[in-house]
């Protein structure tokens, strides 16, 4: 029988996940379909019951349901529990288990740009949902120093305090982050600053940036944010948010099918959707 997968969220019409996963099902000869489902906040519980009643094999979860879905699932993976968000659900013998592949997806994408990332001193800009996943996944992977700069410092302090993995971290204000910038070989921008349509903004000045640094922005719209342009001008390496998006999808696909898919093909698929840009 054909297997059913999907993504729930609101809005969902512009999700690139259906095209990405359906292409992979075809590539690997898997008889399955992946559909987008718009689910409004008030309907989340009914939607999860419906997906279970229909025997859905798995699904992705996006804004605004990543946290609210957790009590509606049968089991939560420990990393997703620590992050406090689920983006991937797998049907395991009729029981729904929630995973988070966003943070691990970022780390997997990072390996291709900085194989030595565990030895690098990292600064994360932001302390929202995506930053939580990235911080905890990097700490779990063994990165020894990860400092955080966020507008609301209390959120960063809470994240550091509740981290179950061993890592050295300082919470910085903007002035200190800019002053100490040269210490970091890895800078990860996770705020929404610089995203379309407000593309002329950057969360901090890169005046003290080391030319040995990799600056990674998890935004992919635009593909080159202001901070990435500034980093390139300063001679640093850059990475945009396509890798995180592709690898979170690849890890979800692997959980559902046991196959780690062709990420280069996924990347080309996503770039086609974003307007034919090649990098
Ligand atoms: P979120 O939970 O709402 O967090 C937003 C973050 O941005 C917080 O740190 C917030 O700071 C900061 N921020 C927002 N506006 C700001 C401003 N004007 N000045 C200073 N700081 C500001 O959002 P999220 O889910 O983490 O997503 C953040 C970004 O990541 C979005 O652009 C999203 O598209 C992108 N993302 C990409 C991927 C991918 O696969 N590539 C995956 C997930 C998310 P405060 O704490 O002070 O409010």
Q: What is the per-residue pLDDT across 10-56, written as a single tens digit (0 to 9) for each?
A: 999 999 999 999 999 999 999 999 999 999 999 999 999 999 999 99
Cα dist from 266 to 141, 262, 269, whole Å: 24, 7, 5
Average pLDDT, the chain: 96
Catalytic site residue 90? no
- Ligand 1 center to 53 CA (angstroms): 34
Spatial distance between the Cα atoms of 51 and 6, rounded to a whole number of angstroms: 9
pLDDT digits (tens, 9 = 90+) for 228-256: 999 999 999 999 999 999 999 999 999 99
Work out the angle at residue 193's Cα, subtended by the Cα atoms of residues 124 and 112, and round it to the nearest 5 degrees: 50
Condensed to tens digits (0 to 9), the pLDDT of residues 86-130 reads: 999 999 999 999 999 999 999 999 999 999 999 999 999 999 999
Calculate how far, in angstroms, residue 126's C-alpha sits from the geometric centre of ligand 1: 7
Provide the token pair at 178: 């800019």
Cα(261) to ligand 1 centroid in Å equals: 28
Checking 206-211 for CB contacts under 8 A at 24+ apart, the result is 206/181, 206/230, 206/231, 206/234, 206/236, 207/178, 207/181, 208/178, 208/179, 208/180, 208/181, 208/182, 209/181, 209/182, 209/234, 209/236, 210/181, 210/182, 210/183, 210/184, 210/185, 210/236, 211/235, 211/236
Tokens 């600056």: give the residue. 215
Measured from CB, residues less than 6 Å from any atom of ligand 1 are 102, 126-131, 150-152, 155, 190-193, 195, 203, 218-220, 241, 244-245, 248
Selecting among 2, 66, 68, 75, the annotated active-site residue is 66
**Where are the alpha helices (H) located in the chain, listed in sequence order?**
17-27, 44-53, 78-83, 102-111, 129-141, 153-161, 174-180, 226-233, 242-257, 263-273
Provide the H-helix boundaries in 112-241: 129-141, 153-161, 174-180, 226-233
Whose Cα sits closest to atom 8 in ligand 1? Answer: 128
Mutating to test ligand 1, I would choose from 68, 192, 194 the residue with most ligand atoms within 8 A of its C-beta, which is 192
pLDDT per position as a tens digit, 149-174: 999 999 999 999 999 999 999 999 99
With cut-offs at 50, 70 and 90, classify the pLDDT of residue 275: confident
251 Cα: distance to centroid of ligand 1 (angstroms) = 22
What is the pLDDT at residue 277?
Answer: 46
Taking only the tens place, the pLDDT of each residue in 170-228 is 999 999 999 999 999 999 999 999 999 999 999 999 999 999 999 999 999 999 999 99
């Amino acid at each position: 029988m054909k297997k059913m997968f999907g993504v729930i969220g609101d809005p969902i019409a512009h999700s690139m996940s259906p095209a990405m996963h359906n292409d992979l099902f075809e590539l690997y000869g898997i008889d399955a379909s992946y559909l987008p489902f718009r689910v409004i906040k008030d309907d989340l519980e009914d939607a999860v019951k419906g997906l279970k009643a229909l025997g859905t094999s798995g699904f992705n979860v996006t804004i605004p349901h990543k946290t609210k879905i957790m009590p509606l699932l049968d089991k939560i993976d420990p990393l997703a529990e620590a992050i406090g968000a689920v983006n991937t659900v797998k049907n395991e013998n009729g029981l729904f288990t929630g995973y988070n592949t966003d943070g691990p997806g970022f780390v997997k994408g990072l390996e291709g740009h900085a194989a030595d990332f565990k030895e690098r001193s990292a600064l994360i800009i932001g302390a929202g949902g995506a930053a939580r996943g990235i911080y905890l996944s990097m700490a779990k992977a063994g990165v020894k120093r990860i400092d955080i700069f966020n507008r609301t410092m209390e959120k960063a302090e809470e994240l550091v305090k509740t981290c179950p993995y061993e890592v050295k971290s300082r919470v910085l204000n903007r002035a200190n982050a800019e002053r100490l910038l040269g210490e970091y070989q890895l800078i990860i921008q996770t705020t929404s600053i610089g995203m379309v349509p407000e593309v002329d903004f950057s969360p901090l000045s890169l005046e003290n940036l080391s030319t040995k640094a990799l600056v990674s922005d998890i935004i992919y719209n635009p593909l080159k944010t202001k901070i990435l342009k500034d980093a390139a001008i300063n001679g640093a390496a850059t990475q945009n948010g396509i890798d995180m998006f592709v690898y979170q999808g690849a890890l979800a696909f692997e959980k559902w099918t046991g196959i780690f898919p062709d990420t280069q093909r996924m990347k080309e698929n996503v770039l086609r959707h974003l307007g034919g840009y090649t990098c």
